[in-house]
Structure 1
Amino acid sequence: MVYAPRSARHGALLVGTFAVLGLLTACGSNSHDVHSSPPLTASGTAAPATGDTQSPGPATSAPGSAATGPGAAVPSAPRATTTRGGGTAPSAASSDRCHTSQLRASVGGNDPGAGQENFPVVFTNTSGRTCTLHGFPGAAFVSASGGQLGPDPKRESGSPVTVTLRPGQSAWAGLSFSNPGVSGATTATPAALVVTPPDERDSLRVAWTGGAVPVGGNSSSVFLSVLAPGTAP
């Protein structure tokens, strides 16, 4: 065994102590640098692709629940009502219109004035349900054999309205023409007036008792007004 002087052993101990202290200091310095650096972050959701026209909805939803975010789809309302048998219910316009078979036609008395002859053409609801009339009727004077006398009547100015007829109620349209004795028009005496309700093809025949009507020449036009509630002005 080699004996080292006391001074040498003391010096070696001091060197080792300083080495340990230096290592600890270095470790503390490195630990401080790591914690002082800004932390790295990463998003867990990818951004939508460019040009996406729909806002992103929720990533997940609970089973049985509907999404309510901006991207949620809204169900459209039904467009038609179906009957119990599976057919489509008719619209109000087609189901409520008065048909020829539900009406009775008549011609009221003459109400002359200022060289004009004026007759109300009346439609009465004879059915058991409420129905409607809208617009102008059609009309034509005919002979006993059924041939038309004169041109079709013209429509007077006026805005069509919907007239609702409960069973037994009536609507009327004015039929007017210049007095042939004043106008000098060519005349004929019709056997009947054939009238057609608005939007219908079938007509109703009414006996004509109003005398001669203009069928040609000067002031021979006959006019019809829009339908209105009631039986006369």
Structure 2
Amino acid sequence: MTVRRPAKLVATGVTALAAALLLTACNDDAGTGAQPAPTVTVTGAAPAQPTGAGRTATGKATVPGAAPTGPMATQPVGTRCKADELAVTVQLQDAGSAMVLLTAKDGRTCTLFGYPGYGGLRADNSVDPLTAKREPYPGAPTAITLKPNTTAFAGLKWNSCDKADPSCHVITGLQLTPPDETKPVTTQVIGLDGQPVTQLLVSAQGLTTGSLQPSNQGVVFPKS
């Protein structure tokens, strides 16, 4: 016995197949020559992060305003003031007290930081090995940039003594060594009258130097 499919069902299948073929043809026409983009896998280092505020070229975060830490213990060799670049004056202020002036000569700009070193000179120009201790007066040392003909200041004090005392240092001049340097600068002590002091009597305790400062305000040690 032969079973006949309904004509309507067969027609529907044919119509669906024709529609599918038509849709495929349209898609081929619209994308002629276009190929799907290939997928690329990148191996190795990750790309650098973008730079900008608060970032570095390596993508690490930065702290705004951050600066190298640690005190300025010494000055860079190429910038600090050399002995031959300075003119030094020691001005007597009172008995046992003076103000020291370090003035940059004409030439390059240089830096000072710390405390001057001192030695004494006797009448025969021999060196008197005075002891000299440091005191952060009027405060801690300040990094000073000296342009030509500008001056840095420090206080200096000592106790007087009897010239007949064998421990008394009788000196006629001073040698000052700039911070971080080894070559001294020879200077005389100038009295209150503006004239060189021909003789300075310093006790066995030696000298006490204050810190170098950019201003002369307050650098002179008070009377004991």
**TM norm structure 1:** 0.54
Which amino acid counterpart does residue 212 of structure 1 have in structure 2? Answer: L
Whether 1:139 aligns to 2:125 is no
1:107 aligns with one of 76, 79, 90: 90
User: What residue is the counterpart of 1:171 in the other structure?
Assistant: 152
**Counterpart contact for 2:118–2:130, Cα < 8 Å:** no
Q: Is the 1:150–1:214 Cα contact (8 Å) retained in structure 2?
A: no
For CA contacts below 8 A with separation 6 or more, give which structure has more relative contact order: 2
What is the RMSD of the two structures over their aligned residues, measured on CA atoms? 4.3
The 1-side partners of 2:11 and 2:41 are apart by 45
CA shift for structure 1 position 124: 1.4
Q: Contact 1:149/1:188 (CA < 8 Å) preserved in 2?
A: no
Bigger proportion of residues as helix: 1
Show CA shifts across 1:100-141 (max 9, x none): 1111112112323xxxx1112221112233333221111112
SS in 2 for 1:140: strand
1: distance between equivalents of 2:11 and 2:175? Answer: 120
Alignment partner, residue 194 of structure 1 = 175
Partner residue in 1 for 2:214: 229
Offset from partner CA, 1:25-81 (integer Å, 9 cap, x none): 9968x98xxxxxxxxxxxx648889xx9847x9xxxxxxxxx969xxx9479xxxxx
Q: Tell me the TM-score normalised to structure 2 length.
A: 0.56
Measured after TM superposition, the shift of residue 212 of structure 1 is: 1.0
Gaps of 5+ in 2: 18-37, 60-74, 190-196
Residues of 2 paired with 1:22 and 1:230: CA distance? 111
* Paired residues, number: 168
For residues 94 and 140 of structure 1, the distance between their equivalents in structure 2, rounded to whole angstroms, comes to 23
Is 1:127–2:113 an aligned residue pair?
Answer: no
What are the ranges of 5 or more consecutive residues in structure 1 without an aligned counterpart? Answer: 1-11, 32-43, 58-66, 77-91
Contact 2:100-2:153 at 8 Å conserved across structures: yes
Q: Partners in 1 of 2:175 and 2:183 — Cα distance?
A: 10
